[in-house]
C-alpha cells in the first residue's frame, strides 16, 4: 500500500472545524445514538475503492455506488 502524505496544517484546520461541529451538536442537545445518513466521497483507483467497499461494513458503513468519472 502506498503511504499518503497529509499536510499537518490542513489536517489540524479540518479537525478543528469537525470538533466545532461536534461541540455545537452536543450543546444543542443532539443525541449521538440516533443513526443518520452521511454522504462521503472518495476518489482513487477503482481497485482501491473496491477494497474500501469490502471493509467499510466492518465500521457500520455501506457503499451506495461506485462510479467512474
From CA 53, how far away is CA 59, in angstroms rounded? 11
In terms of pTM, does the model score above 0.75?
no
Name the pLDDT band for 1 (thresholds 50, 70, 90): low
Mean pLDDT of 12-34: 91
Range 2-26 average pLDDT = 90
Is there a domain that residue 3 lies in?
Answer: no
Q: Which three cell numbers stand for residue 13?
A: 484546520
Above 80 in pLDDT, residue 53? Answer: yes
CA distance to 4, 39, 50, per residue, from 60 (Å): 24, 14, 16
Domain presence at residue 1: no
In the chain, how many domains are there?
A: 1
DSSP 8-class letter at 18: H
Domain-located, residue 65: no
Q: Say if 67 falls within a structural domain.
A: no
Q: Is residue 24 part of a domain?
A: yes
Domain around 32 = 8-59
Amino acid at each position: 500500500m502506498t503511504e499518503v502524505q497529509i499536510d499537518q496544517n490542513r489536517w489540524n484546520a479540518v479537525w478543528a472545524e469537525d470538533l466545532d461541529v461536534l461541540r455545537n451538536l452536543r450543546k444543542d442537545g443532539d443525541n449521538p445514538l440516533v443513526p443518520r445518513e452521511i454522504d462521503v466521497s472518495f476518489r482513487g483507483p477503482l481497485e482501491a475503492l473496491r477494497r474500501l467497499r469490502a471493509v467499510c461494513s466492518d465500521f457500520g458503513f455501506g457503499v451506495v455506488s461506485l462510479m467512474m468519472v
